[in-house]
């Protein structure tokens, strides 16, 4: 291999997704609210239920939600959790965003096709700053 770096040396283990293939599926990447609270970190949370997602409603598979956790100061995405249809596919958007140090606002500025399940990721990212479009915005639960 010479002086070339092995791909194993370049893997960001903070952005490795986890998936449980049940119905509904469960997927997550990054930190949980509990971990951040234990570390004393300040954060904001945006959540979007699939019951408010047009594609999930049309498919009659609207159990679940998307949660985006962002740093309170920098807005950098710290963790994403998805419970519901296609969670194993949706989590890739979060992994890519986190790998490139995106903020929740960055994810919220991206145009998503409509109607899609991925709009749940978009709405949760917008919700972290209280700007979700298709639901009532609640105050963040973060520290």
On the 0-12 / 13-18 / 19+ scale of CB atoms within 10 A, 80 is buried
pLDDT digits (tens, 9 = 90+) for 102-134: 999 999 999 999 999 999 999 999 999 876 666
Q: Is 33 helix (H, G, I), strand (E, B) or coil?
A: helix
Entry pTM: 0.88
C-alpha span between 83 and 67 (Å, rounded): 9
Q: Is 32 helix (H, G, I), strand (E, B) or coil?
A: coil
Residues belonging to the active site: 114
Cβ(47)–Cβ(66) under 8 Å?
A: yes
Q: Which fold has domain 17-127?
A: Enolase-like; domain 1 (3.30.390)
Distance of CA 9 to the CA centre of its chain: 25
Q: Scanning the structure block, which residue is given the tokens 């145009």?
A: 111
pLDDT digits (tens, 9 = 90+) for 30-58: 999 999 999 999 999 999 999 999 999 99
C-alpha span between 66 and 20 (Å, rounded): 15
Average pLDDT, rounded, for the chain? 90
What pLDDT is recorded for position 79?
A: 98
Domain boundaries, the chain: 17-127
Question: What DSSP state is assigned to residue 115?
Answer: S
Q: CA dist 113 to 38, 41, 90, 110, 119, Å? A: 37, 34, 13, 10, 7
């Amino acid at each position: 291999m010479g002086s070339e770096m092995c791909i194993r040396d370049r893997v960001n283990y903070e952005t490795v997704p986890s998936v449980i293939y049940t119905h509904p599926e469960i997927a997550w990447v990054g930190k949980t609210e509990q971990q951040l609270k234990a570390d004393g970190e300040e954060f904001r949370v945006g959540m979007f239920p699939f019951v408010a997602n047009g594609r999930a409603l049309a498919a009659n598979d609207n159990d679940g939600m998307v949660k985006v956790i962002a740093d309170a100061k920098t807005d950098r995405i710290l963790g994403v959790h998805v419970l519901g249809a296609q969670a194993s596919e949706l989590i890739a958007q979060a992994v890519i965003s986190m790998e490139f140090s995106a903020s929740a606002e960055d994810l919220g500025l991206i145009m998503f096709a409509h109607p899609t399940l991925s709009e749940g990721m978009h709405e949760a990212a917008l919700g972290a700053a209280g700007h979700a479009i298709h639901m009532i915005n609640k105050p963040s639960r973060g520290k």
